């Protein structure tokens, strides 16, 4: 897996794709064209959810193991942040992925004990009329970290490669322009010293149905559901095509994508933090406490696409 760093400014990678019947997930069952979150979740969907998308773990990680590992990793994060502040490093972390893939939960555990003065979360709403008339990347540039800071983007400029083309919020020409410009935009940031870490969280179709249904039934979580989310299942295939194109076109040495299979929330949170700690070269790093990245959960974009990607 490519390491992330400001010194790597190579060209965008191209990934050969395997498009065979064997790449399809045999555990996945056809989803209805219209998914009603208010209706009872079919038992077949509930049963298939955890293994959907080809998830390779047989069961959820135990809470005891999760809590012990999380504490060790969060302590290491404190050391990494001390290094970022002392060395004047600039770190930008991008979270993308399916609706209900667990981005918010992963970000919450990542930032839980970090100093908010040097750790910033950016979750932008739709662009204003003024922003629509600007260079597409302009409103994101203003949120880039300064020396000694980490900035986390809960969704990012990659809206132009995912939700916008799927829902017709931009033209095909605008998406094509974005896919050409995004790698160079990120290489410019990397050349200027910004360390870019990009995560794409992927879940199976049945798992997405299960989580959206659970959100709808939870009065404290229902606010997370947007009109876009209600069409996530019906537009599953369109998202798959858009995301595969995004990963294939914008994976580069300067800003590689890291794919996280996110059907198990606990493993997702641990592996996100573990990967960040692995790619940041802070001097006081204790590899024994960090542990090894789980290859059944975390893979490179090249490997993911070679196995069929989102499609």
At 185, which helix (H) or strand (E)? Answer: helix 172-191
pLDDT of residue 97: 97
CATH 3.40.630.10 fits 35-306, yes or no: no
**How many Å apart are CA 84 and CA 280, to the nearest integer?**
9
pLDDT tens-digit profile, the chain (311 residues)? 444 444 444 555 656 554 433 334 444 545 445 688 888 999 999 999 999 999 999 999 999 999 999 999 999 999 999 999 999 999 999 999 999 999 999 999 999 999 999 999 999 999 999 999 999 999 999 999 999 999 999 999 999 999 999 999 999 999 999 999 999 999 999 999 999 999 999 999 999 999 999 999 999 888 888 888 888 999 999 999 999 999 999 999 999 999 999 999 999 999 999 999 999 999 999 999 999 999 999 999 999 999 999 97
**How many Å apart are CA 109 and CA 97, to the nearest integer?**
17
Q: What is the DSSP letter of 252?
A: B
> Who contacts 289 (Cβ-Cβ below 8 Å, separation ≥6)?
72, 73, 75, 76
pLDDT of residue 208: 96
pLDDT of residue 303: 97
pLDDT of residue 80: 98
**How many Å apart are CA 225 and CA 49, to the nearest integer?**
19
pTM of the model: 0.89
CB 99 within 8 A of CB 202: no
pLDDT of residue 6: 45
pLDDT of residue 38: 83
**How many Å apart are CA 56 and CA 77, to the nearest integer?**
27
Token pair of 149, please? 């800071």
CB 136 within 8 A of CB 178: yes
pLDDT of residue 226: 84
Nearest CA-CA partner of 179 in 242, 134, 246: 246
CB 160 within 8 A of CB 170: yes
Task: Decide: helix, strand or coil at residue 182.
Answer: helix
pLDDT of residue 19: 44
Measured from the Cβ of residue 242, the count of other Cβ atoms closer than 10 Å reads 20
The span from the first CA to the last CA of the chain, in angstroms, equals: 22
Measured from the Cβ of residue 72, the count of other Cβ atoms closer than 10 Å reads 18
**How many Å apart are CA 135 and CA 153, to the nearest integer?**
19
pLDDT of residue 18: 46
State the DSSP string of 18-65.
---GGGS-TT--PPPSS--TTSPPPHHHHHHTTTGGG---SSPPPHHH
At 184, which helix (H) or strand (E)? Answer: helix 172-191
């Amino acid at each position: 897996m490519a390491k992330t760093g400001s010194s790597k400014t190579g060209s965008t990678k191209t990934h050969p794709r395997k498009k065979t019947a064997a790449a399809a997930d045999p555990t996945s069952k056809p989803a209805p064209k219209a998914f009603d979150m208010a209706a009872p979740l079919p038992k077949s969907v509930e049963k298939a959810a955890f293994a959907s998308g080809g998830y390779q773990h047989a069961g959820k990680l135990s809470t005891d193991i999760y809590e012990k590992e999380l504490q060790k990793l969060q302590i290491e994060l404190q050391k990494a942040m001390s290094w970022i502040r002392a060395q004047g490093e600039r770190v930008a972390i991008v979270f993308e992925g399916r609706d209900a893939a667990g981005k918010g939960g992963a970000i919450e555990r990542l930032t839980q004990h970090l100093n908010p003065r040097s750790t910033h979360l950016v979750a932008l709403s739709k662009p204003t009329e003024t922003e629509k008339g600007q260079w597409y990347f302009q409103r994101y540039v203003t949120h880039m970290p300064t020396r000694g800071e980490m900035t986390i983007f809960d969704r990012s400029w990659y809206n132009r490669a995912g939700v916008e083309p799927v829902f017709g919020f931009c033209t095909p020409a605008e998406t094509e322009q974005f896919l050409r410009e995004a790698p160079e935009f990120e290489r410019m940031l990397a050349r200027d010293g910004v360390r870019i870490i990009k995560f794409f969280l992927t879940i199976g179709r049945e798992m997405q149905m299960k989580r959206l249904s659970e959100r709808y039934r939870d009065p404290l979580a229902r606010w997370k559901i947007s009109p876009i989310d209600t069409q996530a299942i019906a537009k599953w295939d369109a998202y798959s095509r858009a995301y595969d194109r995004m990963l294939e076109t914008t994976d580069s040495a300067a800003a590689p994508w890291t794919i996280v299979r996110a059907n198990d929330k606990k493993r997702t949170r641990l592996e996100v933090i573990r990967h960040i700690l692995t790619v940041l070269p802070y001097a006081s790093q204790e590899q024994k406490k960090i542990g090894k990245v789980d290859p059944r959960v975390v893979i490179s974009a090249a490997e993911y696409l070679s196995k069929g990607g989102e499609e």
